[in-house]
């Protein structure tokens, strides 16, 4: 009996891998997740939440409330110690969400379980071989799987990326930090401390006995897994005591190394999340970048697997997400650099903080941090083109509706805001929704400001605008063909 051909194997069941699997499932494509961890949620408080654009994306899928119900909304866009208030941004979510990664993963795991996504835990992808027809995925200690495509969401040390021979250029680490959840016998001072080595912090967790520790090491640590003794030594160097640390739930080491894959695709193998880019966690970009990768890739991969779009559509994934990732990585490097009490860096941070008191400067940097300024290069035209579609409150034929609600099924929308019948879908009607609605308010984009109201908008499943109507349907068929397959295929 031959090996069953799967649609997509996702290597890695963290936030990026689960989000991608959910996107594929919504599009009717079978995604199988392979995760090396034997049980869920072993990551504890490794990451602490995400910013506005990620919340918007979750809202587009109808699951944002699950995260908002458990987290805390805060103004958490920062440069150095300067908070950048985004409460005046034109978004339904003008804030960041504080929520530990174990909760994020649990909620996402519940969502993909509802969607019927199979997750194989305690299995690790050890390599692959691809040909014109698919990918043989080799599992450590087990038989192979065969799939049409393989997506690496297996972290910064990605086995899949290495096996694909994709270069991972960037900047070497200059310092390392330990992060852990441990019990203590001594009283710990809460809060953040900066010194010439770096940033340190102690935070009492919800159970009242476990402390989340982040401490920068005095010297760059080795690539080996850290021990409790390493943590004790690092704490003593900074605080003069290790607070009697014991019973670690987990300990990990991270650095300020910054790298980005030279290509996000090699044939039938694609990279997402930390497999595509690593960086210092300063600024809270990690989970959000991965989720945005997943949502950009998911609908495109689904269309290629279903045969409605040519394989070349997948090249737009690298074209769009690589520049967006590079901009975010530049911010994390800058933010990391000023997280130490060096007099020269402090002077730089003070100067930038002064400049950020100018509204335009604040908005520019905050838009980058929150992911609200992402602009995919889809050509010249209306300022909406290539940017996120605002989540407007519309008046539809059956009453009020939101743009985000229209995207819950991860299906593209042609939103007609002009006379009914003034735009149509033709042979694309089976794969794009046509919605007639009206909107009487102003149109405003983060950082950009007010823009001219369009008469129609083609919104991709990831929430980005692929075509803007300005009184005529000119260019609509070309946009539909480019993103949703040729007319002949659409009509079959």
Q: What is the 3-state secondary structure (H, E, C) of 156-181?
A: CCCHHHHHHCCCCCEECCCCEEEEEE
Average pLDDT of the chain to the nearest whole number: 93
First to last CA, the chain: 33
- Determine the pLDDT at residue 489: 56
- Determine the pLDDT at residue 202: 92
| CA 212 – CA 371 distance, rounded (Å) | 27
Q: Which fold has domain 5-170+259-370?
A: FAD/NAD(P)-binding domain (3.50.50)
pLDDT of 93 > 50? The answer is yes
Give 281's pLDDT tier (boundaries 50, 70, 90): confident
| Average pLDDT estimate for 447-461 | 97
- Determine the pLDDT at residue 284: 84
Q: What burial class does residue 380 get, using C-beta atoms within 10 Å of its C-beta: 0-12 exposed, 13-18 middle, 19+ buried?
A: exposed
Give 487's pLDDT tier (boundaries 50, 70, 90): confident
Are 106 and 71 in contact, with CB atoms under 8 Å apart?
Answer: no
CATH code, 393-491: 3.40.30.120
- Determine the pLDDT at residue 282: 82
- Determine the pLDDT at residue 41: 56
| CA 479 – CA 382 distance, rounded (Å) | 14
- pTM for the predicted model, two decimal places: 0.94
Domain spans of the chain, in order of start? 5-170+259-370, 176-255, 393-491
Which residues are paired to 31 by β-bridges?
Answer: 8
Are 406 and 415 in contact, with CB atoms under 8 Å apart?
Answer: yes
- 3-state SS, one letter per residue, for 412-454: EEEEECCCCCCCCCHHHCCCEEEEEEECCCCEEECCCEEECCC
pLDDT of 425 > 50? The answer is yes
DSSP letter, residue 224: S
What does residue 258 show for φ and ψ, rounded to 5 degrees?
A: -130, 120
The half-sphere exposure of 179 on its side-chain side, counting CA atoms within 13 A, is 14
pLDDT in tens, 180-190: 999 999 888 88
| Average pLDDT estimate for 287-301 | 97
Sign of CA dihedral 215, 219, 225, 229: negative
- Strands 399-402, 393-396: pairing kind: antiparallel
CATH class (in words) of the domain with range 176-255? alpha beta
pLDDT of 268 > 90? The answer is yes
| CA 380 – CA 108 distance, rounded (Å) | 37
- Determine the pLDDT at residue 190: 83
Give 1's pLDDT tier (boundaries 50, 70, 90): very low
Are 459 and 466 in contact, with CB atoms under 8 Å apart?
Answer: yes
3-state secondary structure of 216: strand
pLDDT of 490 > 70? The answer is no
Which residues are paired to 150 by β-bridges?
Answer: 9, 269
């Amino acid at each position: 009996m031959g090996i069953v051909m799967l649609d997509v194997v996702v290597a890695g069941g963290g936030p990026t891998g689960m989000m991608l699997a959910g996107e594929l499932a919504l599009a009717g494509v079978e995604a199988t997740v392979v995760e090396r961890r034997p049980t869920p949620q072993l990551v504890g408080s490794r990451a602490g939440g995400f910013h506005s654009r990620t919340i918007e994306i979750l809202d587009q899928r109808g699951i944002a409330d699950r995260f908002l119900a458990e987290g805390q909304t805060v103004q958490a866009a920062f440069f150095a110690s300067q908070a950048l208030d985004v409460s005046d941004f034109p978004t339904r979510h003008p804030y960041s969400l504080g929520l530990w990664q174990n909760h994020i993963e649990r909620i996402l795991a519940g969502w993909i379980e509802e969607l019927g996504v199979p997750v194989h835990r305690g299995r690790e992808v050890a390599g692959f071989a691809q040909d014109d027809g698919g990918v043989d995925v080799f599992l450590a200690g087990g038989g192979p799987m065969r799939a049409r495509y393989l997506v690496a969401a297996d972290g910064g040390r990605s086995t899949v990326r290495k096996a694909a021979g994709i270069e991972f250029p960037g900047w070497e680490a200059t310092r390392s930090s330990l992060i852990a959840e441990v019990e203590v016998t001594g009283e710990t001072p809460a809060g953040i401390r900066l010194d010439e080595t770096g940033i340190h912090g102690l935070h009492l967790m919800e159970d009242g006995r476990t402390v989340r520790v982040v401490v920068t090491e005095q010297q760059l640590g080795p690539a080996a897994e850290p021990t409790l003794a390493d943590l004790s030594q690092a704490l003593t160097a900074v605080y003069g005591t290790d607070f009697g640390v014991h019973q670690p739930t987990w300990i990990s080491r991270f650095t300020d190394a910054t790298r980005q894959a030279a290509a996000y695709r090699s044939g039938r193998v694609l990279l997402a999340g930390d497999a595509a880019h690593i960086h210092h966690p300063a600024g809270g970009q990690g989970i959000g970048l991965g989720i945005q990768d997943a949502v950009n890739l998911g609908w495109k991969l689904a269309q290629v697997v279903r045969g409605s779009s040519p394989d070349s559509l997948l090249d737009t994934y690298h074209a769009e997400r690589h520049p967006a990732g590079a901009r975010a990585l530049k911010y994390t490097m800058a933010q990391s650099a000023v997280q130490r009490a060096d007099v020269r860096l402090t002077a730089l941070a003070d100067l930038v903080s002064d400049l950020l008191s100018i509204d335009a400067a604040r908005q520019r940097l905050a838009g980058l941090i929150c992911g609200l300024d992402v602009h995919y290069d889809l050509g010249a035209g209306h300022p909406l083109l290539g940017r996120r579609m605002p989540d407007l409150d519309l008046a539809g034929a059956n009453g009020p509706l939101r743009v985000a609600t229209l995207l819950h099924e991860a299906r593209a929308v042609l939103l007609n805001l002009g006379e009914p019948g003034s735009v149509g879908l033709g042979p694309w009607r089976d794969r794009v929704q046509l919605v007639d609605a009206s909107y009487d308010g102003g149109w405003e984009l983060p950082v950009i400001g007010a823009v001219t109201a369009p008469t129609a908008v083609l919104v991709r499943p990831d929430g980005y605008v692929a075509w803007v109507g300005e009184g005529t349907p000119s260019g609509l068929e070309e946009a539909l063909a480019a993103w949703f397959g040729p007319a002949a295929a659409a009509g079959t």
